[in-house]
Structure 1
Amino acid sequence: MSSEAVQPYQRIVQDVRDKIRSGRLTAGTKLPSTRELADEYGIAAGTVQRALTELRNAGLIYSHQGRGSFVTETAGETVEDSTARALKALEDQVRDLSARLERIEKERNG
């Protein structure tokens, strides 16, 4: 896709994603202000807000009114990290359910 076909807000989204993946932006890092990003990309503040909304919806950033936007703790996780975390949670649930079932069977069988 040529850069002309990319919407201005999408450039910001992609740039932030790339910076997170490369480790240039890490968990807790504060992003530049809306005004700073608008100036940097030569776009309107509303367009920056759209990009920030996309990044929030993707779980890459969170925002505090009056303080700014920050990279989330899980933003830098790869798909493999996320999958491993989900599998671990499922294993824990199965272990817990197995223990509960064993207790119930022992109570029934006296």
Structure 2
Amino acid sequence: MIATIKENLDVEFSAITLTGDLMYDAERHALVLGSADGLSEILTTNLESQGLRTHADTVFIKDWSEHTGLAASLEASGVVQIVRAVNVGPFRSRAYEVRVKPAVESVARELAKVA
């Protein structure tokens, strides 16, 4: 199930700020930023090839290239909590495992859909 964590969220990347609705796909361990124009930006990465697996409520966010500072921006917005930093790949690039913190209003909205 895909849940909207926070609407109209400003997310800072290394060079730009994007605004949209932050959505969490628990089944795929993915955070997605959806914009009003219908485009979406996947914010997470899969590190299973590095021997790293996520937990039930966590995702990995890379901290290199255009994603530099993304995990810190999301944590400052109160939508994730950084759990740990890992270094991956031949250049030992940093990525963060973060715990998704669903907002109370998004949980209530999803429960209302089921009822």
Q: TM-score range by the shorter chain?
A: 0.3 to 0.5
Which structure is higher in strand share? 2
Higher relative contact order (CA 8 A, sep 6+): 1
Please say which structure displays the higher CA radius of gyration. Answer: 1
When the two structures are superposed, what TM-score results if normalisation uses the length of structure 2? 0.34
